[in-house]
């Protein structure tokens, strides 16, 4: 009984953390947008209210499995998360971040393509595409089915791929910031980077914007590897 209560508290705490993280990050970049591109979100208030509603519902779907796994890690030593800096070689620290991002990107690419089949699009993915154009508030604007496909990824990966707790924090920070900035409607990265060789493998706002404009291309999350390999990369938005 006590165990159940502790799990419920961990799940509720993690839900609150995810919700606050979303509100702060999206709020910050929405504010930046109002400065960098005044009027870009003009007339979008009803849509923004819907984006915030779906995103807060997603916070619970993300928070519950994360809370359960965090509880199991603390109480029972579940997961491959480590805290000692010398538990693994130092070169593994950046590699672990890349492995998490690549695994997440791979899962996202294929589940995302699947959700663009007409039947599943209506059930799970139409909510996300109701943002036209998306704003910084659309980062977690998912139907609960889609939120579930995203919420299980990191809680499962921590059982399989060892990672230092600080690197896990970095993965979650990158995930949060890219999720927001890729929807905010303008590229915060300098043009020389976006149009560089490295940039041609990375997904930024102008790449994901094109997915929201044209639907059947640019399915990736962080990297353009799968899009390029599978011929679904249409490059950057012309806007
Ligand atoms: Zn999107
Ligand atoms: Zn889509």
CA distance to 85, 86, 88, 96, 153, per residue, from 92 (Å): 10, 10, 7, 6, 20
Say if 129 falls within a structural domain: yes
Answer whether 16's CB lies under 8 Å from 67's CB.
Answer: no
Q: How far is the CA of 8 from the centre of ligand 2 (A)?
A: 32
Q: Which regions of the chain does DSSP assign to beta strands (E)? A: 81-82, 163-164
Say if 231 falls within a structural domain: no
Confidence of residue 239 (pLDDT cuts 50, 70, 90): low
**What are the tens digits of pLDDT across the range 10-48?**
999 999 999 999 999 999 999 999 999 999 999 999 999
What is the C-alpha to C-alpha distance for residues 144 and 116, in angstroms, rounded to an integer?
Answer: 16
User: HSE (CB half, 13 Å, CA atoms) of 92?
Assistant: 13
Report the pLDDT averaged over residues 58-66.
97
Q: How far is the CA of 121 from the centre of ligand 2 (A)?
A: 8
**82: β partners:** 164
* Residues spanned by the domain of 147: 2-184
Answer whether 26's CB lies under 8 Å from 137's CB.
Answer: yes
Q: How far is the CA of 109 from the centre of ligand 1 (A)?
A: 12
Q: How far is the CA of 199 from the centre of ligand 2 (A)?
A: 21
Say if 192 falls within a structural domain: no
Q: How far is the CA of 83 from the centre of ligand 2 (A)?
A: 36
Extract the tokens encoding 45: 């208030």
DSSP per-residue string spanning 100-163: HHHHHHHHHHHHHHHTTSHHHIIIIIHHHHT-SS--GGGTT---HHHHHHHHTHHHHHHHHS-E
Give me the percent of the chain exceeding a pLDDT of 90.
Answer: 97
Q: According to the model, what pLDDT value does residue 135 have?
A: 97
What is the C-alpha to C-alpha distance for residues 25 and 72, in angstroms, rounded to an integer?
Answer: 28
**What are the tens digits of pLDDT across the range 192-225?**
999 999 999 999 999 999 999 999 999 999 999 9
**How many domains does the chain fold into?**
1
Say if 47 falls within a structural domain: yes
Q: How far is the CA of 128 from the centre of ligand 1 (A)?
A: 6
Say if 193 falls within a structural domain: no
User: HSE (CB half, 13 Å, CA atoms) of 141?
Assistant: 26
Say if 197 falls within a structural domain: no
Q: Is the pLDDT assigned to residue 238 strictly greater than 80?
A: no
Say if 236 falls within a structural domain: no
Say if 218 falls within a structural domain: no
Q: Distance from first CA to last CA of the chain, Å, rounded?
A: 56
Give the pTM. 0.95
Q: How far is the CA of 186 from the centre of ligand 1 (A)?
A: 13
Q: According to the model, what pLDDT value does residue 3 have?
A: 86
Answer whether 182's CB lies under 8 Å from 201's CB.
Answer: no
The ligand that comes nearest to the alpha carbon of residue 132 is: 1
């Amino acid at each position: 009984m006590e165990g159940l209560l502790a799990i419920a508290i961990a799940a509720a705490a993690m839900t609150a953390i995810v919700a606050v993280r979303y509100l702060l990050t999206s709020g910050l970049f929405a504010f930046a947008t109002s400065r960098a591109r005044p009027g870009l979100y003009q007339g979008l208030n009803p849509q923004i209210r819907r984006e915030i509603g779906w995103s807060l519902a997603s916070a619970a779907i993300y928070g519950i499995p994360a809370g359960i796994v965090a509880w199991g890690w603390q109480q029972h030593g579940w997961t491959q998360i480590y805290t000692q800096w010398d538990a693994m070689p130092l070169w593994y620290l950046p590699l672990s971040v890349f492995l998490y991002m690549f695994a997440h990107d791979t899962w996202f690419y294929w589940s995302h393509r699947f959700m663009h089949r007409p039947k599943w699009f209506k059930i799970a993915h139409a909510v996300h595409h109701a943002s036209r154009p998306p704003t910084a508030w659309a980062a977690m604007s998912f139907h609960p089915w889609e939120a579930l496909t995203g919420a299980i990824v990191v809680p499962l990966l921590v059982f399989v791929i060892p990672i230092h707790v600080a690197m896990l924090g970095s993965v979650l920070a990158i995930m949060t910031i890219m999720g927001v900035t890729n929807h905010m409607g303008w590229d915060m990265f300098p043009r020389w980077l976006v149009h560089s060789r490295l940039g041609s493998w990375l997904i930024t706002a102008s790449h994901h914007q094109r997915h929201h404009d044209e639907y059947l291309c640019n399915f990736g999350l962080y990297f353009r590897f799968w899009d390029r390999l599978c011929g679904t990369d249409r490059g950057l938005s012309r806007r």
